[in-house]
Amino acid sequence: MNQSKFLMKLVIFAIIMVVSTAWAFDFSEIEDKISEYDLDNGLTIIVLPRHDAPVVSFVTIVNTGCADDPKGATGIAHMYEHMAFKGTEEIGSKDLKKEEKWMAVEDSIFQLILEERSKGDLADSTKLAELGQKMAVATDSAFSYSETNEYGLIAKRNGGVGLNAGTTFDRTAYYISYPSNKLELWMAMESDRFYKPVLRELFKEKQVVAEERRYRVESMPIGRLVNEYLTLAYKSHPYGEPLIGEMSEIQNYSRPVMMEQFKKYYIPRNMAIGIVGDVDPQEVYRLAKKYFGRLEDKPKPMELMIDEQPPFGVRKSTIIEKSQPMCIFGYQIPTVNHPDWKALQALASYLGSGRTSVLYKNLVKDKKSAVEVEAFTGYPGSKYPSLFSLYCMPSNESSNSENEAEILAEIEKVKTEPIPEKDLEKIKARAKASLINGLASNAGLASQLATYQLVYGDWRMLFKELDKVNALTTEDIQRVAKTYLDPEKRFVTYIEKPEE
């Protein structure tokens, strides 16, 4: 008996060994081709030559996001991202001097408007109306001297594609791809937008952002639910503020506040650039020194030190409205740099990622008590302590509280018995597929390299991802469930229909 048990263990061990080595992929071929350049002013540029086609993708990531927004100006990081397409001193103007003159007029009138607004209920509405009219004149005059959209037009004329940008709480990213002989054009335009930006058309663009807010946050129930959830989970830390900003604060954005934010965070030490495509790294370095070398070296701003305290109990908020009931609840977890991060990601994947996950199979397919269910980490950000979140939409046979109880029961199971080995293998396989697919496109890879450089201080960590995933054991997953998922310390938000 002992012998056969021993043989079984050997067989299982052999299978696991075979399977484990299959997970490994040798990234050293790609890694060895990558060059890293650190300019004197602290800017890091990571370059991977890929000569399949004469194209190149550029991704610039700045280590600032909406978590850095000053109080009273939530969403300003996102607003700045919009502004970054408005051009520079050389691009985007018909007559810079006249434009700047009218922009200065705009700024001084707006300052008066802000002062009057700040009086709250004592504000003089007649005065505000007059100032509003003067403002409109100034804005129209300034606009008449702007060469609107010139930045984008130049990019397009020169074969640029995929001109885009995105802001999260943690970071802001700028993307574009060019035919590879336009390398210097990108260098000149991209460095210029961080060297001498001109925040033209600010007051017009604010209305565009206001519309975006109406669409994303205000008119969709899920937008309201998420807003409420984050507010509950973060009462001190800015992760609890809306990414796009509060409507009133959007209306109050001013150039001086934006420029202050820009000067503090858009500095070379706080950025990383990924360049992947048909380029010669030495040429990239030469041009980077010439153009990006102009950016002033300033000290890297400190990260926030706002510790969100653990809740004393279960914080709950219910939104009553006549729409589809839904629920989001979650727990505090550490940052992406914490050793437990990978195990927490794996736990979320096991519980609720896709149609083969445990919660989906139990609640949606078998019991039909939920129509949708998901588990995820990293929202709203991961630079600062994050959340392990569960989302569900109950079916009409069930309810938010029933789903919540079912999900909690599944979590308790993970704490008491380790998850099956084969499920861990599936998680590892999915992680591998996902990582590898993410490296396929030039733009995707450029983005990953720059991101990892900022998040870990080392782009090479991208290629160590799989090792970290492979090292996970079922014990790790059980342990993090016990450590972080305390049912007595949670944040819960519901959308419920009104009582009959």
Phi, psi (5° rounding) for residue 200? -80, 160
Report if residue 400 touches another protein, rule: CB under 8 A.
no
Rg (CA), the chain: 26
**181 near another protein, rule: CB under 8 A:** yes
Which of 7, 12, 17, 25 contacts another protein by CB under 8 A? 25
Question: With respect to another protein, which residue has the nearer C-beta, 104 or 320?
Answer: 320
Contacts of 432 (CB under 8 A, 6+ apart): 23, 25, 466, 469
For β-strands 314-320 and 490-496, DSSP reports them as parallel
**Minimal distance in Å, beta carbon 5 to another protein?**
29
String of contacts with another protein for each residue 242-261, x by CB under 8 A:
--------------------
Joined tokens for residue 24: 């490994």
DSSP per residue, 166-205? EE-SS-EEEEEEEEGGGHHHHHHHHHHHHHSB--TTHHHH
- For the CB of residue 351, give the shortest distance to another protein in the complex, in Å: 15
- Rule CB under 8 A: which of 414-473 touch another protein? 426, 429-434, 436-437, 439-442
DSSP string, 394-426: E-TTS-HHHHHHHHHHHHHHHHHSPPPHHHHHH
Question: How many degrees, rounded to 5, is the angle at CA 197 between CA 193 and CA 198?
Answer: 140
Q: Which amino acid is at 385?
A: P
Q: Say whether residue 54 binds another protein (CB under 8 A).
A: yes
Least separation in angstroms between CB 176 and another protein:
12
Neighbours of 130 (CB within 10 A): 13
Please identify which residue in 35, 41, 141, 149 interacts with another protein, judged by CB under 8 A.
149
Report the residue number, 39 or 163, with the smaller CB distance to another protein. Answer: 163
DSSP 251: H
> Exactly one of 42, 152, 221, 223 binds another protein (CB under 8 A); which one?
152
Query: Least separation, in Å, of the C-beta of 497 and another protein?
Result: 6
Residue closer to another protein by CB (options 17, 53) is: 53
CB closer to another protein out of 32 and 488 = 32
Question: How far apart (Å, rounded) are the C-alpha atoms in residues 165 and 315?
Answer: 35
Judged by CB under 8 A, which of 38, 90, 140, 211 binds another protein? 90
Q: Is residue 32 within the footprint of another protein (CB under 8 A)? A: no
Q: Tokens 């009219």 sit at which residue?
A: 133
Quick one: which segment of 39-47, 181-189, 215-223, 404-412 binds another protein (CB under 8 A)?
Answer: 181-189
148 binds another protein (CB under 8 A): yes
Give me the residue label for tokens 């069930």. Answer: 398
CA angle 170, 439, 51 (to 5 degrees): 120
* The two three-digit tokens of residue 169, written as one number: 């709480």
Rank residues 128 and 161 by Cβ distance to another protein and give the closer one. 161
Sheet containing 326-333: which strands, arranged edge to edge?
314-320, 490-496, 326-333, 386-394, 370-379
Residues of this chain that bind another protein (CB under 8 A): 22, 25, 29-30, 50-55, 90-91, 94-96, 148-149, 152-154, 156-161, 177, 179-182, 184-185, 188-189, 192, 278, 320-322, 324-325, 354-356, 365, 396, 426, 429-434, 436-437, 439-442, 497-498, 500
